[in-house]
Structure 1
Amino acid sequence: MDERRAVEQPGGRQAMGGAEESQRLIPLHGFQRVLGTFGEEDEGPLFLITAGIHGNERAGVEAVQRVFAALREAQGTPAGRFKGRCVAFAGNLKGLRAGVRFIDQDLNRLWTKKGIARLLAGDPSLDDAEEAEARELLGCFEKELGRARGKVLIMDLHTSSADGPPFSCMGDTIPNRKLAFALPVPVILGLEEAIDGAMLDWFYEQGHVAIAVEGGKHQARETVDNLEAMIWIALVASGNLHERDLPRLGDFKRLLEREVRGIPHILEIRYREVIRPGEKFHMIPGFKTFDRIQKGTPLAEKDGEVLRATEDGYVLLPLYQGQGEDGFFIGRRVPRFWLLVASLLRRLHASRLLPLLPGVRPHPEKKDRFLVDPKIARWGTVQVFHLLGYRRRRPEGDQLVFSRRPQW
């Protein structure tokens, strides 16, 4: 491929050659559900992209448009070799058109098993705005999954109300790690498990590889560039594209490496500040994602009470917008050594030994879940569960239930 036709920098000229200027596939006022399709239904991977599941996060839509414009421009050339199929969907169409996170409720909190079952059993004419969106998205997903002949991977694109560099988050499984670690951005463990009903939950439960990526602040121009770069790198990592057909792959990686310089590569969630209906939350101005904080640092106010950091670490996703139920998160660095230990333990199926820990027993009704008595369990039990992928923790009576995503 003639490298003179390749992108000189993300967001400017196209990554695979062709037209000098990238063009939007659809104007921002004309959102449609399917943002783009490319490739054939062969034995290659199915790569699904979702953008704008929150309606005020439009940068992902523009990043997708750039990628599909470049893919189509290269079609029919040596650079256009593409294995499998890539399909991108807009998430909350009504929210995107209105420029708000959601109309009636958060679309990224509806995807629990009970929530989807209730939705499918309900009358579509009674759906609120986001229920109607979820119903249509579900039909789109099932249609594409039914046609898939190879592995399936999903990338969910997000932006935030605070300044900060790009990062990825995922359900803590070995296949998810392979895709997330292919991106030269920080990986946050435990964020997906801290939230109930995220769209990726639906894909996780079916055993598919799925990650979410944050590009930066909503309206920042570099946010679109970051998301576009992560899409291209992921398409190579997934096997849809060969790196020889993307000569600017190195440029995309270097762009992201510059954005995240000095930030730990792996963090885990240690604390989540939940905003419940009726509570008045105000984040203290000036915080950015990945700012270092010390225990006791004032972070926000809620109903007149000052909220302080519960431990040393990094503040993540501080909320500087009206809508949202997560005020902020606190994370801490995880040495890569422990990920290697975790991978080994999971391959050895060490979870079978968990009932030997004090206060731990298998859940009598739910497979691959464990009940933990906090009055008996010793210090370090939570860390052991995390090593084995059990990062989702929910109360059940006076016990705690630990669960994890399908690992393979």
Structure 2
Amino acid sequence: MEAITAPAQSQEANDLPRFTVALRPPDITPWLPGNTGLPGFTSFAATRSGPHVLIIGLMHGNEIAGAIAIDALLRAGIRPERGRLTLGFGNIEAFARFDAGNPIASRFIDEDMNRVWDIATLEGPRTSLELQRARAMRSIVDSADWVLDLHSMLWPSDPLLLCGQGARGKTLALNIGTPNLVVADCGHAGGKRLIDYPRFTAEHGDAASVLVEAGQHWQTPTVTQMSASITALLHHAGMLPNPPQPTQTTPPRFAEVTRVVTATTGRFAFVRPFRGGEIIPTSGTILAYDGIAEVRTPHDQCLLVMPSHRTGRGHTAVRLAKFQ
């Protein structure tokens, strides 16, 4: 496919730079009927007992790398050696509207589907297309032991695994091990993600969920990283034969978010175009201005997690983390 360079537009800003769309969205039509009673979700059970692993792509409709990775598994005829494997496409309505000429626009239709995963919202009175879909997905999510949520990023950043809060997510992320950066955080002011769903964060229980931010939107290396994370999880679950010999020479690093920086004005601006994964060596270094207020690093060796260079008021601008 010839790469398309398109102006990016979003609800937060209209002055975004142009992004290259180097991926072609897959035809997921054959998988939409599924076999679970929920459109877009297909499940395979082995005769040998084992965990139920759920892999979800397209929680955001424009993050097509996840759709490509799952489509490839389905076309390859994957079947688990043990347990149950469920593969699902999340926001299929938004994905159907994906346009490489305006790739930001189909992130969602009514609201971000990865900000509705708290009980009060899921069981509350309000409705939206994304809430209806999340409510429909809930029975499958509630049956899964391990969940891998596939995501990509708008701005340049090293890939990472987000494990939310709680020991089980951290353990699962470290066992997956690729990408080799694991970050624990408490999420966004705008709402709860799937990895924040109480089933995965409760003190008691066995279920765990992690989110892989595999690279930039619409880039081939992002699909490669997603596939590597999926393969590592399936090997960890005993679902694939002949686990490969480890090729990673260093264990994954673990960092914990110490501050979530949420823009309080419409004039949030970084002092320079930071890349996600950068480490700022000195405490007190100015990172940005939120209006006239300074944003500084709270400690030495401060890891920048997914800085957003066009941040609207009330949205996460960057997460600051410390290695443990």
Q: TM-score, structure 1 length as denominator? A: 0.60
- Alpha-carbon distance, 1:166 to partner: 2.1
Question: Which whole-Å CA distance do the structure 1 matches of 2:267 and 2:31 have between them?
Answer: 33
Matched, 1:325 2:312: no
Give the superposition deviation at 1:66: 2.1
Gaps of 5+ in 1: 1-23, 73-79, 335-408
Q: How high is the sequence identity, in percent, across the aligned residues?
A: 23
Alignment-derived partner of residue 278 in structure 2? 291
Q: Which SS does the other structure have where 2:210 is aligned? A: strand
Equivalent position of 1:200 in the other structure: 195
Following the alignment from structure 2 to structure 1, what is the Cα–Cα distance between the partners of residues 288 and 26? 39
- 1:165 alignment partner, SS class: coil
1:101 alignment partner, SS class:
coil
1:37 to 20, 26, 43: 43
Residues 228-270 of structure 1 show CA distances to partners (whole Å, capped at 9, x for unaligned) of 001001011122224x1x5xx34xx64xx59xx8x97111101
Instruction: Report the equivalent of 1:154.
Output: 147
Q: Deviations over 1:256-290 (max 9, x none)?
A: x59xx8x97111101111135x7343445532111
What SS is found at the alignment partner of 1:158?
strand
Runs ≥4 in structure 1, deviation > 4 angstroms? 28-31, 191-196, 321-324
Among 262, 267, 270, the residue aligned to 2:255: 267
Taking the TM superposition and a 5 Å limit, the aligned residue runs for 1:126-275 are 127-142=127-142, 145=143, 152-182=145-175, 183-184=177-178, 185-192=180-187, 196-202=191-197, 203-204=199-200, 205=202, 207-242=206-241, 244=242, 249-250=244-245, 254=247, 257=248, 265-275=253-263
Tell me the distance in 2 between the aligned counterparts of 1:113 and 1:196: 11
Higher helix share: 1
**Does structure 1 conserve the Cα–Cα contact (< 8 Å) formed by 2:311 and 2:317?**
no
Between the aligned partners of 2:191 and 2:271, the Cα distance in structure 1 is: 26
Structure 1 position 112 matched with structure 2 position 105: no
Q: 1:296 to 1:174 in 2, by over 3 A?
A: closer
How far does residue 153 in structure 1 lie from its aligned partner after superposition?
1.0
Give the TM-score of the pair, scaled to structure 2: 0.73
* Residue of structure 1 equivalent to 2:16: none
SS at match of 1:213: strand
CA change 1:207–1:308 in 2 (3 A) is same
**How much is the aligned-residue C-alpha RMSD, in angstroms?**
3.3
Partner of 2:308: helix, strand, or coil?
A: coil
CA displacement, residues 324-367 of structure 1 (integer Å, 9 cap, x when unaligned)? 82110111111xxxxxxxxxxxxxxxxxxxxxxxxxxxxxxxxx
Distance 1:285 1:95 in 2: 33
Give me the whole-angstrom Cα distance separating, in 2, the residues matched to 1:54 and 1:154.
16
Secondary structure at the aligned position of 1:235 is classed as helix
Unaligned runs of 5+ in 2: 1-23, 33-38, 99-105
Spell out the pairing of 1:352-391 with structure 2 (5 A cutoff). none
Q: Which residue of 1 aligns with 2:87?
A: 88
Conserved in 2, the CA contact under 8 Å of 1:192 and 1:198? Answer: yes
